[in-house]
Amino acid sequence: MNALPQIDAISALALAVFRLNGALLHWGDRRVATLGLSSARWQMLGALALADSPLSAPQVGAAMGVSRQGALKQLGVLQGLGLVQVDPNPAHRRSPLYCLTPHGRKCYEQADALWRDQVAQLARQISATQARQATEVLQHIEHVLGSATADLEDAT
């Protein structure tokens, strides 16, 4: 047992987040498979659907917490499926911009409807207050870890 209870509590929280991430990915893969998607592809569609303008692969990756390479791989698959369109980027010749096609928008909306059905079930067991508190804690941890990562990168 650790001398500081916060260390054990934060470690347990991190493990719970890892497990939740796995459960969400598993649920998503099963649910959106009927749409020809995986959780990773759905995530990329979501980044584009929620953006105000077309995004580059690094921007999609940053919006969803994945690497540029991971985003680029999934965006290529989505382009092959006719769900995203690739346009030249006037600001960066080697980093094109991605946006949803009409078919991609429809596919995202169908996946979103599946998610909303699941959320309605979860909302019967988790209050809005609990969800907001959990979100605040997770965002704070993300901020602290992001700052620590930046400090490490500055030191090298």
> What is the domain extent for residue 96?
41-111
Establish if 62 belongs to a structural domain: yes
3-state secondary structure of 85: strand
Strand partners, 84: 100
The pLDDT of residue 40 is: 94
Q: How far apart are CA 93 and CA 100, in angstroms?
A: 20
Establish if 46 belongs to a structural domain: yes
Tally of structural domains, the chain = 1
Domain with residue 95: its CATH number is 1.10.10.10
Establish if 19 belongs to a structural domain: no
- Tokens coding 74: 């999934």
What long-range pairs does 15-20 form, CB within 8 A, spacing at least 24? 17/138
- Reported as a single tens digit per residue, the pLDDT across 32-75 is 999 999 999 999 999 999 999 999 999 999 999 899 999 999 99
- Reported as a single tens digit per residue, the pLDDT across 94-114 is 899 999 999 999 999 999 999
The CA–CA distances, whole Å, from 74 to 19, 101, 127, 144 equal 23, 15, 34, 29
Identify the residue whose tokens are 């569609």: 45
Establish if 88 belongs to a structural domain: yes
Across the beta sheet with 55-56, the strand order is 55-56, 97-100, 84-87
User: pTM above the 0.85 mark?
Assistant: no
- Tokens coding 4: 């500081």
The pLDDT of residue 73 is: 96
Establish if 70 belongs to a structural domain: yes
User: Which residues of the chain form beta strands (DSSP E)?
Assistant: 55-56, 84-87, 97-100
The pLDDT of residue 148 is: 67
Establish if 60 belongs to a structural domain: yes
Establish if 142 belongs to a structural domain: no
